[in-house]
Amino acid sequence: MKFVKSNLLFFSVLLTALVVFSVLMTFSLMTSGKIEDLKSEISDAESRIKSQRSEKMPFEGLDYELDMARKDLVRLAALERAQNRLWGQVLASENNLSKTWKKKSPESINSSLIRQYTQLRELCRSKNVVLPGGSQGGPATPFLDTPSQPAEEFGFGLKSYDGNWPNFSSEEAQLLGVQIEIIKQLVGFVSESATKDYPLRLAYIHREPVGETDEGNIGDDLLELDDRKASLLKTHGILDSTCFEIQFVGITSHARTFLNSLRPPYLLRKLVVERDTDDTSTAFSPDLGDPAFGNSSPESSELPIVQDVRSKFTFLIEYVTGVDRDAEAFFTGILENVEADDQSLRDFLEASGHGALTETLIE
């Protein structure tokens, strides 16, 4: 006891050390489990980071791709606007007879057709257009037979309805009425192609039937499209149209003038040029000889100066009545299967000329 008292400081330090050691040992035992938990959490975090990096790898450069996609949208919008403008010009709504047509009764259409027969025959007579079966009259020309008076039986693709009007439905009658107006315009183009000195001969006008009743009565004016489908745009579902085929005999300037008249909604789908073999007439001029010698060669009393250059021109014409570009249905179908960014879609619609669809497509 005396020893303890004499070494009190030593034992105090020793006791303090033991207490500190005990406390530290207890703390170490208490925190060792937490350290292991922290190590496990750190390891898990590292694994998650690696996994996230792997998942993000396919999306590296996404900003670049997004920027390129936006530029593609700008180009597509410009292309779509150009397409709208192109097909608008092809349809030519302001001058399109199918768009400006006003509904009429079948009887009224029949009356118009009866008047049109006479009008077109008189037009051809006055413009030097020879019709099939016409009576001869007037002086002959080097390029065509003597011009004829209008053939009363020629029906301009509508011969079956000259004095006979079937029981058309109202819808079919309207379609036929449009064709009647188109034929009137086409005959006008033909008549303007002839000249006083150079008449042309109209061979035929064939047309596509507008319905079952028309198909059953159209007769020889029927335009068979089976062999011509590859030449028509409507075969590919691009547009709606009605088709005609016109053939006339004349010279190159006739065909050139007629072609220049075929502006939208008229589309020339095929042109066939053949030598006209029905007539082999040639214009001649007498050989007057050399005036310096006062006589002509006995072996060549006359030489041809202008050979007959008549050709047979056949035009396959597609008259556009509608364009299949339902933008609302197209975009609605696409948006049913994808999620689009509203702002990007709005910008595209405005730039492509479909701004009117913004409210419909973006709710």
- Report yes or no: 135 and 305 within 8 Å, Cβ to Cβ: no
Rounded average pLDDT over 110-137? 88
Question: What's the whole-model pTM score?
Answer: 0.71
Which residues are paired to 266 by β-bridges?
319
- Under 8 Å CB-to-CB from 87, ≥6 apart: which residues? 239, 323, 325
Structure tokens at 89: 């010009």
SS3 call for 82: helix
Q: How many angstroms separate the Cα of 57 from the Cα of each of 6, 52, 60, 62? A: 76, 9, 5, 10
Any idea where the domains of the chain sit in the sequence?
A: 18-47, 62-90+326-361, 92-283+301-323
Determine what percent of the chain is predicted with pLDDT higher than 90.
49
pLDDT band at 206 (very low <50, low <70, confident <90, very high): very high
Residues 55, 57, 61: CA angle, nearest 5 degrees: 135
* pLDDT tens digits along 282-302: 333 334 344 333 444 444 444
Q: Is 334 or 117 the better-scoring residue by pLDDT?
A: 117
* pLDDT tens digits along 50-83: 888 787 777 777 788 888 888 898 899 999 999 8
pLDDT band at 4 (very low <50, low <70, confident <90, very high): low
